[in-house]
């Protein structure tokens, strides 16, 4: 995917940082994921996928750097004790998470626009964003019924 690669490199250089192989790989994984990922998820994905050389500490450093450039955001949520990261994008996504099989289903719309607007008026906060995850049991796991 040379096209994507150029795109990611362009984003990086436009923010004044180098377009390294490792940064591009991390961005590619995050951009192609519908759900937030842990640093370890990203590390495993790149190591087992492309076969590129990469260390876990580099992933952490890249996530931190991309966070400062507002390309990536730490979600503030944890999964199994690990922090979750996602691409910052105009599109607003939330997930439906199965508490049995841990499947994540991305939801299309965000129903919270009006609520936030109302909140700005009543509290004086300038609202910059929110985290919203819904938990339940997915249809498959309901059938298994254990």
Q: Which of 2, 128, 144, 145 binds a copy of itself (CB under 8 A)?
A: 128
**Residue 53's binding partner, choosing from DNA, a copy of itself, none, with beta-carbon cut-off 5 to 8 A by kind?**
DNA
Q: In whole angstroms, what is the distance from residue 97 CA to residue 86 CA? A: 16
Tell me the CA distances in angstroms from 11 to 73, 74, 93, 94, 98, one per residue in order: 15, 19, 22, 25, 34
The answer to whether the beta carbons of residues 72 and 11 sit under 8 Å apart is no
The whole-angstrom separation of Cα 32 and Cα 42 is: 11
Which residues inside 90-119 make contact with a copy of itself, applying CB under 8 A? 96, 98-99, 105, 107, 111-112, 115-116, 119
The pair phi, psi for residue 98, each rounded to 5°, is: -80, 125
Binding site for DNA (CB under 7 A): 9, 12-13, 17-23, 38-40, 53-58, 60-62, 64-65, 80-83
Minimum gap (Å) between residue 101 Cβ and a copy of itself = 12
Residues 47-86, interacting with a copy of itself (CB under 8 A): 76-78, 83
Q: From the CB of residue 136, how many other CB atoms can be counted at a distance below 10 Å?
A: 12
Please, which residue, 47 or 103, has the CB nearer to DNA? Answer: 47
Q: Please name the residue that has the structure tokens 């019924």.
A: 145
Q: Residue 7 or 60: which CB sits closer to a copy of itself?
A: 60
Residues at the site binding a copy of itself, with contacts judged by CB under 8 A = 76-78, 83, 96, 98-99, 105, 107, 111-112, 115-116, 119-120, 123-139, 142
């Amino acid at each position: 995917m040379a096209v994507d690669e150029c795109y990611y490199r362009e984003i990086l250089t436009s923010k004044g940082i180098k377009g390294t192989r490792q940064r591009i790989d991390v961005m590619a994984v995050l951009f192609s994921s519908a759900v937030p990922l842990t640093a370890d998820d990203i590390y495993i994905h790149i190591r087992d996928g492309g076969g590129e050389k990469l260390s876990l500490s580099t992933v952490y450093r890249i996530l931190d750097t991309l966070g400062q450039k507002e390309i990536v955001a730490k979600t503030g949520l944890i999964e199994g004790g690990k922090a979750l990261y996602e691409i910052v994008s105009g599109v607003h996504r939330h997930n439906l998470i199965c508490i049995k099989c841990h499947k994540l289903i991305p939801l299309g719309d965000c129903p919270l626009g009006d609520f936030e607007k109302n909140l700005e008026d009543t509290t004086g906060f300038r609202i910059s964003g929110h985290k919203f995850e819904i938990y339940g049991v997915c249809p498959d796991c309901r059938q298994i019924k254990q």
